[in-house]
Amino acid sequence: MGDMVITVMEIIGTVAFALSGSIIAARYSLDLFGVILVGCVTAVCGGMLRDIILGQLPPAVFSNKALLAVAAATSLLVFIVFYFNSKSFEKLERRIESVNILFDAIGLAAFSITGMEVAFGTKNGENALLVISMGVITGIGGGIVRDVLVDKIPYVLKKHIYALASIIGCIVYYIVRQNGGKMIGMLVAIPVMIIIRLLAARYHWKLPKIKIEKQQ
């Protein structure tokens, strides 16, 4: 049951991350290949980074082609929609983003927990720091690579509570899973991550940062 829940959430998350990646690529006027590439990278690169760190080669994405196909199809659809409606780009983007925030929150939770489960299954599965780190990397890694590809400061480093939602959720999942099992851990940690992410987006929560005033 727990694996089925994660699979469904992974599909939702893949669509959400591919949407966000391909929309950003379209905003930067990338061509068809660029839009599909950035969309796919956003959806799968977090898992690839995790597998490389854990020494699980080749990364799982190359054997689980279905999620990559979902990401590519989503990105292609985004390109087609915006290509034929370029004059309404801003309006369409706002509509898609309003729905995608929820999907993105679900994807963040699903990928974070999936990353932790992969780490639990390795010989270092008792290393709490490693397991939690792999969850966070799986959740936010694709977005970081996406932003690097379009030459912008990664979203997670400057805007809203995003990475922190994954960190808190992963810590909660680790603690609850160790004491109550995988399913109970998911029932507790998934809502925690989703709620934090949605509230952060709704109320524009941000971590404090240094504001440097330019000298006249």
Average pLDDT over residues 65-92: 88
Which residue, 104, 102, 79, is CA-closest to 92? Answer: 79
| pTM exceeds 0.85 | yes
Q: For residue 120, how many C-alpha atoms fall within 13 Å in the half-sphere facing its CB?
A: 16
H/E stretch holding 176 reads helix 163-180
Share the mean pLDDT of the chain: 88
pLDDT digits (tens, 9 = 90+) for 137-169: 999 999 899 989 988 888 788 767 889 999 999
User: How far apart (Å, rounded) are the C-alpha atoms in residues 137 and 64?
Assistant: 19
Task: Judge contact between 186 and 113, C-beta under 8 A.
Answer: yes
- The distance from CA 157 to its chain's CA centroid, rounded to whole angstroms, is 14
**Domain range summary for the chain, segments of one domain joined by +:** 2-203
| pLDDT band, very low/low/confident/very high, at 206 (cuts 50, 70, 90) | confident
